[in-house]
Structure 1
C-alpha cells in the first residue's frame, strides 16, 4: 500500500500527539521508573500498535495488516537486541537512574528521525534498482552469520563486549567543551561565561547515533516483509516508541535471553533468503515466493522457541551456580 499525503500527515501528527502524551504523563518529571509503570506503558504501546494493525485490516485488507504485524514483531524483537547496547552506554557514562528515562526518550526520538531517512533512502533505491533486493538479501544473510559468531564468542569468553564510542561521538567530545558532571536533564550549561555541554548531551547522542548501526540490519529486514514505505515507517515507529519502557521492564531479564542472538540470526537469515527469492522472481526466474502469513508464522515460532530455550538455559545455569 502507498499512503497518500494526507494519510502520512495524519499519521505523523497522531504519532507526535502520542509522543507528547507519553512525555507529559510519564517522562516530564525525572524519576526512577518502577516495574509497574514500565509494564503499563509497554502494554499501552503494544495495544496501540495492535489497534493500528486492526485499522489496516478493516480499511486496507489482510495483506497490509499482515505485513504491518510481521514488520512490527520483527522490529520489536530486533529492538530488544538494542537494549543490550543501551545498558552498556548507561553504564559507561554512569547515567543516574533518575535521568535514564529522559535520556532514552530523547535518544529514541533521534533514532526515529534517522530511521525515517533510512526508510526514504531504501524506498528510493528499491524503486530505482530492482536488483537491490539481492544486496539486501545477501547483507541480511551475512549479518545473520555475524550474529551467530558474536554469540558463540560471548559464550566462550563469558562476557559481553564493552561499548565503544563511534567516530562522531569522539569528534564531538574532542571539539566541544563539556562539564564533568550532570546538571539535571540539561544538555548544556553556562560556566564562567562559556557554554558547555553536559554528559546528558553525549549520552543522548550516543543512543541516537548507535541506533543507526541497528537500522542497517532492521530496515533491509522489514523491506523483505513489505515494500510499502508507509508500513515500514509505522512498524518502526511503534516498535521504537515502546523501547524506553521495555528497557525498564526487562531489566535483569535481558541477561537471561542467552539465545536471543541465535533467534534473531535465524529471522534475519530467513528474511534474507526471502529477499533473494523475491529478486529472482522479479528477474523472471521461476523462484517460489514466501507469503506474509508464512513469514509471520516463522518469526513468531522462532521468537517463542528462542525465549523458552533462553529462560530454560539461564535458569539451569543459575541453579548450577547456586551453592
Structure 2
C-alpha cells in the first residue's frame, strides 16, 4: 500500500503529523470516557487535580516532541500558546459554573456535559482556526487587526467591570424554550426524552436541561474563542501549532474544572493579569515592526507571558488567603 500521501503537506505541515495528533486525541478521550469515567460519577477536587496534572503532562510532552522534531522556535511558540490558552480558559470555567448552576446540573452528570462539549470544541476550533489561517495567509494585514483587537479587549478588561451574566435572559435560552419542547426536570443522563405533551397528550420529543446546558457550554466556548484564537495567531501563524496548543489546553480544562469551580473565588484578581497578557501579545506585533524585527524572540514572549500570569496567580492567592473555601 502506498502511504506517500501522508507526507503531503496540509496547511504547511505533513499530513501524517495531523493524523497522528488526531489519533492521539481520540485515544486520550477514549481512555477518559471508556476506562476512567465509564460510569457517571461525581469527580472530587483531588481526582480533578490528578487528571488535570495528567493532561498538563501530556500537553507539555507533546510540546517537547514539537521542540525536538520541528525545532526550538516551534516548541517555544507551542508552549507560549499552551500557557496563554490555559490561562484564558479560566474565565470559561466561571461561565460554565454559572451555566451548571442555572440549569441545576447534578455533579454526577457534569463530566458528561463537559466530555461531549469538548468534542464540539475540537470541531469548532478547527473551523475558526482554519478560517483564521486562510485569512492571515491571504491578507497579512489581518494579523494587525487581531493584534489591535487584543489590545482593545485587554484595555476593556482593565477598566470595565463586567456584571455577572444572567443566564435566564440569554437570547439562546429564551429561543430554545420558545421554539422547542423543553422539560423543566432532568431525566438522568439523557439529553432528549420522549413523553406525553402536556397540551396535546401526544408522545413528543423534549429537550432536557442537560442538553440546554451542553448548548450553552458550546456557545460560551465560541465566545471565548473570539479572544483566544486571535491571541494564539499573534504568537504564531503556524496552523498546526495554533490548533494543537489550543486543543491540549482545552482538554485539560475539562479535567481541572471540578477543582477550579470549588475555588474560582481565589482567582478573582487574575483577570487584570489576563488583560495585561492580551495587551502584551497584541502590542509586540506593532513594537516588532517599529524596531525592524520580524517578530519578538519566542523565548522572550514565553518568559514575559509566564511571569505576568504567575504574578497574577500569586497576587490572587495572597489577596484571598483569608477567605474560606466556598462549597
Indicate whether the TM-score tops 0.5.
Answer: yes
| Kept after mapping to 1: 8 A contact 2:168/2:174 | no
Partner in structure 2 of residue 65 of structure 1? 75
2:249 to 234, 239, 243: 239
Partner in structure 2 of residue 313 of structure 1? 319
Give 1:300 shift.
Answer: 0.8
Distance in 2 between the 1:14 and 1:135 partners? Answer: 34
2:267 paired with 1:295 = no
2:171 paired with 1:167 = yes
| Kept after mapping to 2: 8 A contact 1:169/1:205 | no
| Kept after mapping to 2: 8 A contact 1:78/1:218 | yes
2:211 paired with 1:201 = yes
Partner in structure 2 of residue 51 of structure 1? 61
Distance in 2 between the 1:90 and 1:165 partners? Answer: 15
Q: How many residues align?
A: 308
- Deviation string 1:1-46 (CA, Å, 9 cap, x unpaired) is 9321221122112211111111112333111101222122111101
2:226 paired with 1:216 = yes
Partner in structure 1 of residue 185 of structure 2? 181
| Kept after mapping to 1: 8 A contact 2:77/2:298 | yes
Q: Which has the higher helix share?
A: 1
SS in 1 for 2:223: helix
Give 1:288 shift.
Answer: 7.0
CA RMSD of aligned residues (A): 1.9
Trace 1:11-90 onto structure 2 (pairs within 5 A): 11-90=21-100
- TM-score, scaled relative to structure 1: 0.90
Distance in 2 between the 1:163 and 1:148 partners? Answer: 24
2:266 paired with 1:249 = no
Q: 1:216 and 1:250, CA in 2 relative to 1: closer, same or farther beyond 3 A?
A: same
Task: Provide runs of 4+ in structure 1 moved above 6 Å.
Answer: none
Distance in 1 between the 2:168 and 2:282 partners? Answer: 28
SS in 2 for 1:242: helix
SS in 1 for 2:68: helix
| Kept after mapping to 2: 8 A contact 1:133/1:276 | no
Give 1:166 shift.
Answer: 4.5
Distance in 1 between the 2:219 and 2:128 partners? Answer: 13
Give 1:50 shift.
Answer: 1.2
Gaps of at least 5 residues in structure 2 are 1-10, 197-202
SS in 2 for 1:315: coil
Partner in structure 2 of residue 129 of structure 1? 139
SS in 2 for 1:189: strand
Distance in 2 between the 1:303 and 1:208 partners? Answer: 26
- Deviation string 1:259-286 (CA, Å, 9 cap, x unpaired) is 11101000000011123345x47xxx83
SS in 1 for 2:181: coil
Distance in 1 between the 2:192 and 2:262 partners? Answer: 32
